[in-house]
A and B are shown apart, each in its own frame.
Chain A
Amino acid sequence: MGKKIGVFVCHCGTNISATVDVEKVAEEAKKNNPGVAYTTTYKYMCSDPGQKLLRDKIKEEGLDGVVVAACSPKMHEHTFRNAAVKTGLNPYHVEISNLREQCSWVHPDKPTGTEKSIDLVRMMTEKTRKDRSLTPIKVPVTKRALVIGGGIAGIQAALDIADGGHEVIMVEREASIGGHMAQLSETFPTLDCSQCIMTPKMVELAQHDNIKLYTWSEIEAVDGYIGNFDVKIRKKARSVDLDLCTGCSSCWQVCPCKKIKSEFDMGLGNRTAIYIPFPQAIPSKPVIDRENCILFKDARKKNIPPNDSKVCRKCIDACPIAPVKAIDYSQEDEIVTEKVGAIIVATGFKELDDTSMYGEYGGGKYKDVITGLQFERLASASGPTEGKIERPSDGKEPEIVVFIQCVGSRDPAKGCSYCSKTCCMYTAKHTMLYKHKVHDGHAFVFYIDIRCAGKDYEEFSQRAIEEEGATYLRGRVSRIYKKGDKLVVLGADTLTGSVVEIEADMVVLASAMKAQDDAEKFAQKLSIQYNKDKFFSEMHPKLKPVESSSAAILLAGTCQGPKDIPETVAQAGAAASKVLALLSADELEREPVVAKVDRLPPPVFSTCIGCFYCQRVCPYGAIEEEDIKARDGSVIKTVARVNEGLCQGCGLCAATCRSKSVELAGFNDEQVYAEINSVEFN
């Protein structure tokens, strides 16, 4: 007996009904289609009464197949399937016909919209006829989490999970955790010292019993699936044994290479070749910069093992640890594997440092044109000037500082099209820090708009203007050029319509927040999606803001898009709560929409011929090889098999298979064939 199908057409307020005659769609669904037992329309199918209508009609009419013609299945497939489950119907007999994103929103007029909707509903009705019941797949859970990135986002997330009682692996690629927040001087809108609120958290993390920390380490590969990831971590050769070293500082005090630009100080200060990035680093143990260390340079030149080089051995000689020194020149990269159940990606951002593309601002040539992060280091008590505002060129205290907002941001032509969100606030903060330290100094700010939407943010920027006396000029700077030891800033004040010329001592560019340089490659390693700016994409911009496109991989902080500290911490907490929920179960249920390679009775066993094209195209590594063996153990045939845990149901294997031996549950050949055949071509 055929199925009894119900068709529910949603108005979506007027989102659908404005361009689609929903009544006609419902009427046509029934016409010449004896399988359709019931049709109706409703203003909001996803609302509680809408769902009740669905449940009631399934029971009253005895429906065993449902088509909801509404918005994208990404939006509410789950909602309607859950509603159906409550009536006892297997959720996979509920299909969504997308009349909103794929129809009403893209077609301007009612006749075309209606005609297409009728086709879409018919296709889905035919598919529903062939729907089979599916049961969720259960997978076990490894109750540990991996946090990638040790900035404030990663630290917060790791602490939250660890406090929840689960083990956390943290991987940080730099020699110390802390990230960008550790570089900041004070933080808006309270002006409390960044180090003062950051370092206690770093210490807490390092001392937490549930957290295992890998610094100077990178993610090599991630295999596996929700609840069961195998993570390969590359522990880069630090040249220092973390267990032996006490961080006594003897080595970096004697290091002769003292003129290496410090990354932590954004190039404004120097460091040695064996170094800790900053005094509060965690672990407080050094690393040898093999690129710049003269011993390693010599070894590379002579092509000898570094241990054999005699050019300089000052650090190892100075190391007081005995009998085995804590410094080891021959250390090599090491790969370790950790098993985890969930992953939080908190890899942060990169400040736009390529100011050379702004030729009008000196193109990176003028020493006294610095970026926002560089200013943070100047203003920081632990910075290269110990918090004194001095210009990099001659160490003179600047009397006039010009701040330029939106450098790289909101500039689709040269930089990024997006707003970096933090610069309005940090520029206001910079003017205050400057004024607090140089009382009779003048701060000018060129801005496009002032965007300070946040709790106490507007008040903060007003304070900069009204109380601290920063001069805000609405307009862009057209050029900066050198005149003696001054920088002449030519700009426009669009509010008065005048041209402004300021002879400044220093210029601070509020540079954009960009995705990390290797964000794209990293995303591919994790099989997560990213946007055009290489920021990692959340699953849903509103409803799933911390989930990535892959199950059990969560996003926290600026790797997902520019955001400030409060927002980052909030997102990290949210990601941690998702992980805690995931790790609280012993078993996870997942969608049974997975591929399957057929198995048949002997002598065929499977129509799979074992060419393994499916294996090569599978982005998730879900295809395995299976030997079909005779009773005597001899191999009859080697065929493909899908690992259900890894399969994400993308269907690439099914599309690639020439012999059609692979089928995707919920989208099998018969269903797709029925859909295609129901369309009338003309």
Chain B
Amino acid sequence: MIEELRKKAEELLRSDTVKVVFGYGEGSTPERTRPVFITKPEDVNKLTWNKYCVYNLTTYLKRQETRKLGKPAIIVKGCDAKTIIVLLKECQIKREDVYVLGVTCDGVGEPLATKCKACDVNTPRIYDDLVGEKIENKEIPFDERYAELDEYEKLSEKEKWDFWQKQFAKCIKCYACSSICPLCFCDRCIVDKNQPQWIDPSAHPRGNLSWNVTRAYHLAGRCINCEECQRVCPVDIPLNLLNKKLAKETEKNFKYRSGYNIDDELAMSTYKEEDNQDFFK
């Protein structure tokens, strides 16, 4: 499969279909991989593919430095491909400006990443070309897909509040979560706005709460649960728990799964008559 990947990359570069290939390369130890940006056909041997290719390369679609490299081909797993769909829907990329090189995947991480435990996108739902043997995507029931929330949802309101207070107290406002997030693409984040200063930038509990809650809300109905924020958090805040909870509420109330179908209207900006309106009292 690695060979096939390299061959495809080489073809794309040689034919000048793309200027750069975003992919995974070998890391400093065998259990690590790192992102590589291949611009010359002769460099394609730097590409690799294994179960340690955990992270979501689509974050490089938003960055000015990597955008400058020209039209990319990007290697995406089924989960990462969901970002492509959201970015298209939110007008951040044009379909013709990115070549999606999908890879089939039966799980990454050692031990297996949480996001892979109830995976129903082993084969990406959007791609220009597919590498690897096609895997029939399973249908996984709603409850099973959100199983990681079971313990959390058993907590009382007060316990939840205390839990997050404790978690957010650790936050050092390094903003790694938003830097890595492929869907946190604003040129100027709300946290950088200082007239008025909506979010206190110091690592004070009040500012920590408003930052983390705002970040989660800004991803509500959008997050595709790639878990990158949680992976990069240096103080181990279970950020994906918040994201996943909001995704679950979105699906429950609006029958919408972010990044799942290119034809679905975005949940957070589309009015439908059949929307749940029970909250009007």
Contacts and interface: CB of A to CB of B under 8 A. Distances in A.
Interface of A: 604, 607, 609-613, 616-617, 638, 656, 658-661, 669-670, 673-674
B187 A659 contact: yes
A658 B178 CA distance: 13
A604 B188 contact: yes
A674 B198 CA distance: 11
Interface in B65-101: 90-92
B91 A616 contact: no
Q: Chain B contact residues: over half helix, strand or loop, or mixed?
A: loop
6 contacts: A609-B92, A609-B186, A656-B269, A658-B218, A659-B187, A660-B190
Contact of B91 (A638, A658, A659, A661): A638
A604 B195 CA distance: 17
Contacts of B271: 617
Nearest to A638: B91
A610 B94 CA distance: 12
A638 B187 CA distance: 13
A611 B190 contact: no
Contacts of B193: 660, 669
A670 B190 contact: no
Given A609-B186, A611-B91, A612-B90, 8 more contacts: A607-B186, A609-B187, A613-B268, A617-B271, A658-B190, A660-B198, A669-B193, A670-B196
Interface of B: 90-92, 185-190, 193, 195-196, 198, 218, 266, 268-271
Given A617-B269, A669-B196, A611 B187 contact: no
Contacts, number: 50
A660 B192 CA distance: 10
A431 B251 CA distance: 60
Nearest to A598: B188
Contacts of A613: 90, 266, 268-269
Most chain-A Cβ atoms within 10 A of its Cβ — which of B187, B266, B270? B187
B16 to A, nearest CB: 20
B270 A611 contact: no
B187 A607 contact: yes
B92 A659 contact: no
Nearest to B219: A658
A534 to B, nearest CB: 15
Most chain-A Cβ atoms within 10 A of its Cβ — which of B91, B189, B198, B268? B91
Contacts of A616: 266, 269-270
A609 B218 CA distance: 14
A99 B274 CA distance: 37
Contacts of B198: 660, 669, 673
Nearest 3 CB-CB pairings of A with B: A616-B269, A673-B196, A659-B186
B269 A659 contact: no
A612 B269 CA distance: 9
Given A604-B187, A670-B195, A670-B196, A611 B218 contact: no
A474 to B, nearest CB: 39
Contacts of A609: 92, 185-187
A613 B196 CA distance: 23
Nearest to B270: A616
B266 A659 contact: no
A648 B270 CA distance: 19
B257 to A, nearest CB: 18
B227 to A, nearest CB: 21
Nearest to B217: A658
A658 B218 CA distance: 6
A638 B186 CA distance: 13
B210 to A, nearest CB: 12
Contacts of A659: 186-190
Nearest to A618: B269
Contacts of A612: 90-91
A547 B196 CA distance: 38
Contacts of A674: 196
Nearest to B218: A658
Nearest to B266: A616
Nearest to A637: B187
Contacts of A670: 195-196
